[in-house]
Structure 1
């Protein structure tokens, strides 16, 4: 029933998405605010999370808080069905355990990261379109390059007609490190935290054990993935010239060095609080839903 594991991962992620997508919109706007400008030397239409929520709702309407939701659903289903499916396959085959049968944090990192890298690359076109749709705003509160898409299908058509298949995977070099770091740390922490909470008799009730472990995993993934998340947003959203080359960044490393040089360490952690408010509950909901779906699958199998 490996296919059911992959399906469970995808459905769990979509269930969590509806609650957390507004924070993703806020995060993208803040990450693009003051792009390649020194701190304090640029306009700040978004002055914090609460102010950003009000600003988006006021200028884009309440539906603006769910911009990019459709491609986000594709992303979550593709990424999480692959990464959670790969990881659960590894767990079921004991590939995440040492020879002594102990859950290995390192092996968990490897299998979590491998599945995420695969999922991130496959879903890269949708991640780019989601980012570009979420950044679109009225001129008075616009940040970053403004793409003129009228929705996901229109965006795919525009990008393909201009730059072909390669254009749809532009910026994928930025999402693979982000996906690998984030997923590896999230999944490995989740598995190890569940084990430790049970071992030390801290939280043994199954559902509560999953929720607590997922919360801890969300905190870890936010810290680990924040800089690469900013880089991925910048690479995906930048404009391109007639040859399909980025107007601001040549690639992942060029983006990293330019942000660090012009915006400082602060620039690499822009949108951090929006990320932690979005990723921690998303991680908690996602991994809890995933555990529950797997429990239902196993219960069904036992009745056959």
Structure 2
């Protein structure tokens, strides 16, 4: 079966990512709000302090309605499209170039990680401003009802253009997340294919779902403290923090990802680094597993679509040449 071009692979991956993220978006809102909550804020944000994911689901729905569970979805899905397309395109391009260079040799796990990290790093410079806007819309009540461009302009007005790239260092560290995910996925996939007797057959949807879930779980557990730190860098504390003590206000002012990790550990212990992790894992695993399954299927349809488009284009060219 012919392989997709980087453009085709990016298209299939993007469609799969959007589909997966629409299904799990409420979990994204819940985990983001849990990541930015702290003991200091509990006194001034009682309705936004959650004891668990279920508690968050109930409170958000009770106080904000169903739309609260989809806060920032437009920006979030836009970010998913841009992130997924750019990642799959860049990853497919550099991986294809590397395969041509090494010929029939097999790509090592280390190289899979390097290629994934490189693709992820290049993507961050493109998608980070969208992530900042999404985080604000999910956590800042003043941003509710405002469009993507309105929130983006507010960020620039308050923090300058550099505010659109808050959390860049943490994001670059987190490039290891997709690298681990795809590296482990490719290794597990290769192992399963080799164990099949006779001519290798495509993996079943169940097998793809399982190894996708295992891959993403491992990546999430390893990188979660920086996932939390990135969100807090992009978050804006509420205006009513003036009601807090000087010590509590200082604890909510962050200079860097390491500063966040230090302050969170001081106030909440190491457990604070993993606030909302169960929701993050559930969301990430479901999203990634759905993505892997849908991408494998969508790749077939995308290849067919691209083939039909190419055949139609060639037919038009031949007709034009015949009439000339």
TM-score band w.r.t. shorter chain: 0.7 to 0.9
The 5 Å alignment of 1:105-254 reads 105-137=109-141, 150-178=146-174, 180-201=175-196, 205-208=202-205, 209-239=207-237, 248-254=253-259
Task: Give how far 1:200 is off.
Answer: 2.5
Quote how far apart the aligned CAs of 1:235 are: 0.5
List aligned pairs for 1:1-304, cutoff 5 A.
Answer: 1-34=5-38, 45-95=49-99, 101-137=105-141, 150-178=146-174, 180-201=175-196, 205-208=202-205, 209-239=207-237, 248-300=253-305, 304=311
Stretch moving more, 100-109 or 126-135: 100-109
Larger deviation, residues 159-168 vs 222-231 = 159-168
The whole-number CA distance in structure 2 between the counterparts of 1:15 and 1:193 is 24
Deviation at 1:266, TM superposition (A): 0.6
Question: In 2 relative to 1, CA 69–220 (structure 1 residues): closer, same or farther, beyond 3 Å?
Answer: same
Asked if the contact 2:229–2:257 (Cα under 8 Å) also holds between the matched residues in 1, the reply is: yes
CA RMSD of aligned residues (A): 3.0
Structure 2 unmatched ranges of 5 or more: 240-250, 312-324
Describe the shift of the 1:298–1:150 C-alpha distance in structure 2 as closer, same or farther (beyond 3 A): closer
Question: Is the CA contact (8 Å cut-off) linking 1:96 and 1:108 kept in structure 2?
Answer: no
How far apart are the structure 2 equivalents of 1:286 and 1:74?
A: 16
Q: Choose 1 or 2 for highest CA Rg.
A: 2
Name the CA distance, whole Å, in 1 between partners of 2:307 and 2:147.
Answer: 44
Displacement, 1:68? 1.2
Q: 1:168-212 CA deviation, whole Å, 9 max, x = no partner? A: 22332232222x021111111111111112222399543424323
Measured in 1, the distance between the counterparts of 2:119 and 2:284 equals 19
Provide structure 1 residue ranges, at least 5 long, that are not aligned to the other structure.
Answer: 138-145
CA-to-partner distance for each residue in 1:201-242, whole Å, 9 max, x for gaps?
39954342432321222212221221111001110003499x
Q: Go from structure 1 to structure 2 and tell me whether the alpha carbon gap of 1:267 and 1:90 turns closer, same or farther (over 3 Å shift).
A: same
Q: Provide the TM-score with structure 2 as the length reference.
A: 0.79
String of CA shifts for 1:269-296, please: whole Å, max 9, x gaps. 1111100110001001122222223233
CA shift for structure 1 position 267: 0.9
Separation (CA, whole Å) in 2 of partners of 1:197 and 1:85: 26
Corresponding residue for 2:248?
Answer: none
Paired residues in the alignment total 288
Q: For each residue in 1:103-156, what CA deviation from the matched residue of structure 2 results, as whole angstroms up to 9, or x when unmatched?
A: 42111111111111221221111111111111135xxxxxxxx76772322101
Q: Distance in 1 between matches of 2:100 and 2:227?
A: 27
Closer/same/farther in 2, CA of residues 18 and 266 from structure 1, 3 Å limit: same
CA distance in 1, matches of 2:191, 2:100: 15
Q: What TM-score, normalized to structure 1?
A: 0.83
**SS of residue in 2 equivalent to 1:206:** coil
Which whole-Å CA distance do the structure 2 matches of 1:90 and 1:290 have between them?
Answer: 19
Q: 2: distance between equivalents of 1:102 and 1:8?
A: 24
Please state which structure has a larger fraction of its residues in helix: 2
